[in-house]
Structure 1
Amino acid sequence: MSTPGTLHSWVSRWCRNGSASSDRPAEPAQVERMRESERAELERLRREMSEKNKRIRELEMERDVLKRCMVLWVK
């Protein structure tokens, strides 16, 4: 059975080393290394998300304008 101290120790190691099972730091090259294809895919997905968020904002503005028009038309 684990004690709260054990959990604290694991969390501390994870924050310090990137691994709960080892007291020595993980190799920086392994932790931060991203293949060029992964980096390109991440960049593409970020661009795509940005475009979609822009389109969502445009559609929300159009919806708000139509709501206002309906209020004026009903009166």
Structure 2
Amino acid sequence: MGKRRSYTEEFKRDAVELSLNSDKSVKEIAEDLGINYGNLNRWRREYRNKGKHAFPGNGKQNLTPEQKKIKEIEDELRETKLERDILKKAVGIFSKKPK
């Protein structure tokens, strides 16, 4: 079984730009670049939907400043809830009367 190929963000952007600005068909461009036609179509769709935030690579997300702030606040809230739960348990343990 062959190794899965990965493409850089720059390559994907260039391929999409070429397919959008060329007189050739998407299938011809995919063949010229040596990539799968389905991949190029998926990249074009992702580029249309996300614009400059498309192709973050390796599961990373290109977030807007607002999305980054929301993620930071959600992470802080999750950590604060965990600390609160630990403190509740500690209070329960230390407030028990010894036998």
TM score, norm. by length of structure 2: 0.41
Cα distance in 1 for residues equivalent to 2:64 and 2:87: 35
Cα distance in 1 for residues equivalent to 2:94 and 2:67: 41
Equivalent runs, 1:1-75 vs 2, <5 Å: 12=4, 16=6, 22=39, 30=54, 31=56, 32-67=61-96, 69=97, 72-73=98-99
Cα distance in 1 for residues equivalent to 2:65 and 2:83: 27
Between Structure 1 and Structure 2, which shows a larger proportion of helix residues? 1
Cα distance in 2 for residues equivalent to 1:53 and 1:41: 18
Matched positions, count: 56
1:33 shift after superposition: 1.3
1:35 shift after superposition: 1.1
Cα distance in 2 for residues equivalent to 1:22 and 1:40: 32
Cα distance in 1 for residues equivalent to 2:75 and 2:66: 14
Over aligned residue pairs, what C-alpha RMSD do you find?
3.3
1:47 shift after superposition: 1.0
1:22 shift after superposition: 3.3
Cα distance in 1 for residues equivalent to 2:95 and 2:39: 59
Higher relative contact order (CA 8 A, sep 6+): 2
